[in-house]
Structure 1
Amino acid sequence: MNDAASTPLSPIGRRSGRVRDGTVTLAHGSGGKAMRDLVDDVFVAAFDNPALAPLEDQARFALADLARDGDRLAFTTDSYVVDPLFFPGGDIGELAVNGTVNDLAVSGARPRFLSCAVILEEGFPVADLRRIAASMQRAAAAAGVAIVTGDTKVVPRGGADKLFLTTSGVGVIPAGVQIAATRARPGDRVLVNGCIGDHGVAILAARDDLALEVPVTSDTRPLNGLIDALREACPDVHCLRDATRGGLATVLNEFARAAGIGVHLDEAALPVRETVKGVSEILGLDPLYYANEGLLAAVVPPDRAEAALAAMRAHPAGRDAALIGEIDSAPAGRVILHTGFGGGRIVDMLVGEQLPRIC
C-alpha cells in the first residue's frame, strides 16, 4: 500500500501528514510540508475537536454560546519551562493545561478554550512530543476544556532547553461572581485544599544532581470542579488564588497587600507531609514558598467557613483541605505565622526564587 493510500483523512477531509523522523529537525519549523506533517500527526491527532478542525489561523466561537455561561470573559496566558519535562506525578504538558485552567478558575470563570504554543529544540525526540501532546489532551478532557489553536516553532540545537510551552485560556465568568484579592475582610477564614509543597519536592526529587528518593508526587490537577463545589457551598467566596511560583506565602502576602489587612496563620494547622518537612529541613527550605500546581488558597466569610471546608473535603481535589488561619485588620499588609511555642514570625514575600525552572 502506498503512502498516500495509507495516510488517514483529517476531520476536514484533507489527508493528514505523518512524521517519519525520530527527532525534530529544523525543517519541522519551516512552515512547509514537514511542519504540516508534525502538526497533523502529533497535535491535530491528539487535540481533535470541532473548533480546531478547520485549521485556520485562529479558532472561532459564537458569542451567543459564551454569553449563556456568563457576562464577562476571563483571559490568561502562561509559559512553562519546567526541568525535567517528566517528573513524578506529571509532565510539562499536563502542567501547562492544568495551570492555565486553574488561573481561569480562581477568578470564578468556567474555563472553555485553550491555545498552545510550542518551542522545540532541534533534536527533540518525536516520541516524547507525542507523549506530551497525549498528556495535554487527557488533562484538557479531565478539565472539560478544548485546545483549539496553537503554534509550533523549532530553534537550532542549543537555542532552547528541549521544549517550552505557552498556553493561553479563555473562560466565562457567571453573572454576579466577584472574586478578588481586595475583598478580604477582618474575620474571614483562610482555607487551602490540600498539602503544601508536594510539587516543589517532586521536582527536586526528579533532578539528577540532588539524587533524592522521596515518595512524593506533584499535585498537578485541574481545580475548576473543586471551585464549583466550593462556590455552591459558599456563593460569596471573597478571594481565590492558586499557589504556584512563590508558593502559599506569596499568595497570602498578595491578599494582605491588596486588601490592606493582616493574615494570621496557625502553624499547627498547615497540611504538610512529613516527607516534605524532612526534605525541607535537609535543604534549608521553607514549604510555604514551594511552588504548588494543584493547591489554592481561599478566603471566605466566617459564617460559611465550615460549609466551605466540608465541600472541599468532599471533592477529590480537596480531601486534605484545612482551615489554616484568619484575617484581621492588623498588621496591615502582613502575614504572621503563629508557632506552637506561642510566638509569631513575619512570613514575607519570596525574595528571588527558591527553585529555578519549577513550572
Structure 2
Amino acid sequence: MDNIITLAHGSGGSATLDLIENVFRKYFKNDILSAGDDSARLDIGNAKNIVFTTDSFVVTPVFFKGGNIGKLAVCGTVNDLATSGAIPMYLSCGFIIEEGFSMEELEKIVEAMSVTAAECGVQIVTGDTKVVQKGAADKIFINTSGIGILPEGINISGRNAKAGDRIIVSGTIGDHGSCILLERENMGFQAEIKSDCAPLAGLVRALLEGGVEVHVLRDPTRGGVATTLNEIAAQSNVTIQINEESLPVKREVQGVCELLGMDPLYMANEGKLLIFVPGKQADMALKILRENRYGENASIIGEVMEGREPKVVLRALSGGLRIMKLLTGDQLPRIC
C-alpha cells in the first residue's frame, strides 16, 4: 500500500479496498463490520432488526444535470439501507461548508434534500454544521447516516450469491459518471447526459413484496458495475459471468466512453441496482422492475457459475472471454 493517501484511495477500486483492509478493518475489526455489506445489521436490546449506514459526499461540481450534492446525499444513504432489504426511516446530515459559499446555493441543496427525503418516506431528524476557512474545503461536503428497519425473514447480503442466480441491472449504466465527467471537464460534447441519481427503496420494496427471493442487492456506485461485481464474487466465493450484448448502455454514454478510452462498466452509477435472484425468478423480477419508472430499462446481464474461483468474466460481443478486475487508479475522483 502507498505510504501516503492518493486520489486512487477514494475511487472505490482496489486501492480503496486495500485501505479498508490494511487500516480500517485492522483497527476496527468486529463481526458486524466484517460482514462487508453497505449497511450494518444491529441487535439493540430486544430490537434485532435495526440497519445502520453512513456515507460522505464530496462530488464536484456540486450542481449537475439530474441533481445536486444534497439529492445525491439522501439517495446514496437511502439506497445503502434499501440494498440490505431494510425500510429506510431516519437520516442525519452533517455539513462542512467553506467560508464564502453562497447562501442561495446552500438553500437549494437543503431543499433538494427535503424533497428527496419526502419521496423516500424518511425524516431528517438530527445534524451538525461546521464552517471552515476559505481554501480549507471545496465549497461543501455532506455526511449522511441512516437507520432502517429490516422486515422479518429478509436475508440479503453480498455473501449470498449462489450458482444459478441470474444477475439483473435495473437500468442503463455509466450515466452518473459520464454526466459528472462532462460537466467537470467542460469538454464541449453536445451529448445531453443526466445523472441517474435516484432513491431506490420503493423499487426494492416492489421486488420483495412481489415475492422475489432476492439473494444480493448492491448499488454500483464508485468503481461501477465491474468493481461491485468483483466485490460480490469475493464475498460469496463465486465466479460471475456477464454478457456484453446484454449490458444496457445509452448511446451517448457509450460514445463518450469510446472517445475518452473509458469503459461504462467502471463508470459510477447513483440510481441503479445489481440484483441476484434464482434463475427461475429472473423473468418475474424483470417484469416487476420494468413496471417502476426507476427500473424500466432493467436487463438480465449474466449469471453466477457453478464451482469456480471468485472472479468476474465478460463474454464479449466477439464471443471471447475477458477477466474484469477491480478498478485500479483514480478513473474519476470525487464522483459522489
Shorter chain as normaliser: what TM range?
0.7 to 0.9
Code of the aligned partner of 1:299: F
Match in the other structure for 2:98: 121
CA contact (8 A) 1:234 1:307 kept: no
Match in the other structure for 1:265: 242
Tell me the distance in 1 between the aligned counterparts of 2:190 and 2:139.
24
Q: Kindly indicate whether residue 148 of structure 2 is the aligned counterpart of residue 140 of structure 1.
A: no
Tell me the distance in 2 between the aligned counterparts of 1:128 and 1:208.
21
Tell me the distance in 2 between the aligned counterparts of 1:133 and 1:89.
16
- Name the stretch that deviates more: 154-163 or 200-209: 200-209
Instruction: Find the residue that maps to 2:56 and give its secondary structure.
Output: strand
1:204 to partner: Cα distance: 1.3
Q: Kindly indicate whether residue 195 of structure 2 is the aligned counterpart of residue 218 of structure 1.
A: yes
CA contact (8 A) 1:234 1:304 kept: no
CA contact (8 A) 1:74 1:171 kept: yes
Code of the aligned partner of 1:140: A
Aligned counterpart in structure 1 of residue 220 of structure 2, from 237, 243, 246: 243
CA contact (8 A) 1:245 1:290 kept: yes
Code of the aligned partner of 1:333: P
1:156 to partner: Cα distance: 0.5
Instruction: Find the residue that maps to 2:159 and give its secondary structure.
Output: helix
Alignment of 1:7-26 (within 5 A): none
Tell me the distance in 1 between the aligned counterparts of 2:154 and 2:179.
35
- Name the stretch that deviates more: 230-239 or 75-84: 230-239
1:213 to partner: Cα distance: 3.1
Match in the other structure for 2:53: 76
Q: Kindly indicate whether residue 169 of structure 2 is the aligned counterpart of residue 167 of structure 1.
A: no
Q: Kindly indicate whether residue 315 of structure 2 is the aligned counterpart of residue 345 of structure 1.
A: no
CA contact (8 A) 1:312 1:321 kept: yes
Match in the other structure for 1:336: 313
Code of the aligned partner of 1:197: G
Q: Give unpaired runs (5+ residues) of structure 2.
A: 1-43
Instruction: Find the residue that maps to 2:76 and give its secondary structure.
Output: helix
Match in the other structure for 1:10: none
Tell me the distance in 2 between the aligned counterparts of 1:186 and 1:135.
41
Tell me the distance in 2 between the aligned counterparts of 1:208 and 1:248.
23
Query: Which protein shows a greater Rg?
Result: 1
Aligned counterpart in structure 1 of residue 296 of structure 2, from 302, 319, 323: 319
Aligned counterpart in structure 2 of residue 155 of structure 1, from 124, 129, 132: 132
Instruction: Find the residue that maps to 1:316 and give its secondary structure.
Output: coil
Instruction: Find the residue that maps to 1:282 and give its secondary structure.
Output: helix
RMSD: 1.5
TM-score (normalizing by structure 1): 0.79
Match in the other structure for 1:278: 255
CA contact (8 A) 1:238 1:299 kept: yes
Alignment of 1:83-98 (within 5 A): 83-98=60-75
Q: Relative to structure 1, is the Cα distance of residues 199 and 185 closer, same or farther in structure 2, using a 3 angstrom cutoff?
A: same
CA contact (8 A) 1:234 1:300 kept: no
Runs of 4+ in 1 over 3 A off after TM superposition: none
Aligned counterpart in structure 1 of residue 78 of structure 2, from 90, 101, 104: 101
Q: Kindly indicate whether residue 241 of structure 2 is the aligned counterpart of residue 288 of structure 1.
A: no
Code of the aligned partner of 2:63: F
1:260 to partner: Cα distance: 1.1
1:205 to partner: Cα distance: 1.8
Match in the other structure for 2:169: 192
Tell me the distance in 2 between the aligned counterparts of 1:82 and 1:223.
20
Tell me the distance in 1 between the aligned counterparts of 2:306 and 2:64.
41
Tell me the distance in 1 between the aligned counterparts of 2:176 and 2:239.
27
Aligned counterpart in structure 2 of residue 202 of structure 1, from 168, 174, 179: 179
Which structure is higher in RCO with an 8 Å CA cutoff and minimum separation 6? 2
Alignment coverage as a number of residue pairs: 293
Instruction: Find the residue that maps to 1:317 and give its secondary structure.
Output: coil
Per-residue Cα deviation, 1:197-254 (whole angstroms, up to 9, x for no partner): 0001111121144333321100001000000111123442000000100111111111
Tell me the distance in 2 between the aligned counterparts of 1:209 and 1:235.
43
TM-score (normalizing by structure 2): 0.85
Per-residue Cα deviation, 1:9-51 (whole angstroms, up to 9, x for no partner): xxxxxxxxxxxxxxxxxxxxxxxxxxxxxxxxxxxxxxxxxxx
Code of the aligned partner of 1:157: K
Tell me the distance in 2 between the aligned counterparts of 1:343 and 1:104.
37
CA contact (8 A) 2:98 2:136 kept: yes
Instruction: Find the residue that maps to 1:323 and give its secondary structure.
Output: strand
Aligned counterpart in structure 1 of residue 230 of structure 2, from 246, 253, 263: 253
How many percent of aligned residue pairs carry the same amino acid?
Answer: 50
